[in-house]
Amino acid sequence: MSDGPFNQAVLIRGGTVVDATGKRVGDVLIRNGVVEAVGLDLDDAIAGAQVLDASGCIVGPGLVDLHSHLREPGREESETVETGARAAALGGYTAVVAMPNTDPPIDCAAVARQVFELGARATCEVAVAGAITVGRAGKLLAPLAEMADLGIRLFTDDGNGVQDARLMRRALEYASALGVTLAQHCEDSSLAAGGHMHEGEWSSRLGIPGQPGEAEELMVMRDLALSRLTRAPIHFLHLSTATSLQMVRVAKQGGARVTAEVAPHHFSLTDAAVASYDTVFKVNPPLRPPADVAAVKAALADGTADAIATDHAPHAQEDKEAPFDQAPPGMLGLETALALAVTELDLPIERLLALLSWQPAAIAGLAGRHGGPIVAGAAANLCVIDPEVTWVVDATRLASRSRNCPYAGRTLTGRVRHTVLRGEPVVIDGEAQR
């Protein structure tokens, strides 16, 4: 917040409260950034509170995104911390993890501090992921301890996988003393080289060079082995193939310290979309065939995947309006993730919120402030969701500075109605308040 804590009392009235402890009907009274009371008939408790209507809605903990590319510093024409955070708030997020592939990259305390400062004024909490290696170049360890001292809990070279097995082993060992988690973008770069979509039937027909799912799977397999060797935790970013998820499933059964996220586009789009040659469908890891999409959904249903993470990756229109093999990979995600989950996944709302809120909060080290039970004394980071309403995605009306949304024109079910950050309603009835 810009000028001190938000002091006005807020009453979220008429909703059903859902958190990790269960589901109950009740109003939520908020004051001075914390939940003051949860119950029925709180109207009399306070006069002059700002009332947010939640009738027919779910009142849940704010969503937490493990994977947002906010582009600042360096690519402010495609997104800034401010615009990305606004998109996040509209999507129901009260916290996002900003990925370090900025320019310069977040590979030292100075750049991390800059992003934290930008985030302090934003409409969601901006946590930061630091790079594992200097310049994300995969050669030398970045100063992990120095960044951990600033509160950074996740490290990744996202955009690149750490190719060198020996370096990755050392990074896991070194990080294990810091209480932080390394997160891997799984891609064997030599096998994936030159591939601009999933290698399979569609790439064969379309004449677009592909990358096989095995490029992802090789690194999942390697890093499971390295995590076992070092006894350090590992988090897998945006897993997208049936085999990757099966390896994680088996590893978890064996007690491995592994967590995994999947992205909304990997459960709602297939590689057939690329037949349009529209570069909005170019993303990395690439869109996969229906069998992998089904496997991603199954992994969300059975707990193999711990989180839905957006991989929100804004790109300026002029960059996307390039030949398919030259366009940068990535698509917007923050404003559509929840609705895609409601629409595409056959899961109850408490399971969806586990995947979108408290489980990612735990992975990001944000559980103290986000995703916790909605009880008196808890931080007032909340979102109010209408799970029934349908809406049509209009890419021209998104808060993100970019327009590379692959769901334009699609009818989705479920929408965020209000978002409350530290007691302040930053989104009311689907409108950003600042």
Partner 1 sequence: MTATVSATAAPGVGPAAAVRPAARLSTAKPGGRRHLLSIADLDREGIEEILRLTDMFVEVSERPIPRVPALRGKTVVSLFFEDSTRTRLSFEMAAKRLSADTMSFSVSTSAVKKGESLRDTVETIEAMGIDAIVVRHSAAGVPWQIANWTEGAAVINGGDGWHEHPTQALLDCYTIRQQRGRLDGQRIAIVGDIRHSRVARSDVLAFTALGASVTLVAPPTLLPPTLAGWPVEVSHRLDEVLPSCDVVYLLRLQRERMQEALLPSLREYTATYGLTRQRARLLVPGALIMHPGPVNRGVEIAAEVADQPNSVITRQVRNGVAVRMAVLYLLLGSGVDLGV
Which residues sit at the interface with Zn ion, rule CB under 5 A? 158, 185
Question: Which residues are CB-contacts of 130 (< 8 A; sequence separation ≥ 6)?
Answer: 100, 106, 107, 112, 142, 144, 147, 148, 152, 154, 155
Considering only residues 177 through 196, tell me which ones interact with partner 1, judged by CB under 8 A. Answer: none
User: Does 21 help bind partner 1 (rule: CB under 8 A)?
Assistant: no
- Footprint (CB under 8 A) of partner 1, residues 60-89: none
CB 375 within 8 A of CB 30: no
Q: Which is nearer to partner 1, 62 or 213 (CB)?
A: 213
Q: Which is nearer to Zn ion, 158 or 319 (CB)?
A: 158
- Residue in the shown chain whose Cβ atom is closest to Zn ion: 185
Q: Is 204 in the site for partner 1 (CB under 8 A)?
A: yes
| Residues that are catalytic | 311
158 binds, among partner 1, Zn ion, none (CB under 5 to 8 A by kind): Zn ion
The entry of Zn ion, partner 1, none near residue 185 (CB within 5 to 8 angstroms by kind) is: Zn ion
From 8, 21, 326, 411, residue interacting with partner 1 (rule: CB under 8 A): 326
Asked if 411 touches partner 1 (CB under 8 A), the answer is no
**d(C-alpha 332, C-alpha 402), whole Å:** 8
* CA triple 230-232-237, angle to 5 deg: 120
Q: Which is nearer to Zn ion, 248 or 382 (CB)?
A: 248
Spatial contact of 392 and 432, defined as CB atoms under 8 Å apart: no
Count residues near partner 1 (CB under 8 A): 26
- ∠ CA 184-190-192, nearest 5°, is 70
96 Cβ contact partners less than 8 Å away, ≥ 6 residues apart = 64, 65, 68, 70, 84, 85, 88, 124, 125, 126, 127, 312, 334
Using rule CB under 8 A, residue 199 touches partner 1: yes
Is 206 a residue that touches partner 1 (CB under 8 A)? yes
| Residue 328 interacting with partner 1 (CB under 8 A) | no
The partner in contact with residue 135, picked from Zn ion, partner 1, none with C-beta cut-offs of 5 to 8 angstroms by kind, is: none
**Cα(289)–Cα(200) distance, integer angstroms:** 8
SS3 382: strand
Q: What six digits make up the tokens of 38?
A: 């949860």
* CB of 310 or CB of 419, closer to Zn ion: 310
How many Cα atoms sit within 13 Å of 147 on the Cβ side? 32
- Residue ranges in contact with partner 1 by CB under 8 A: 199-210, 212, 272, 275-279, 318, 321-326
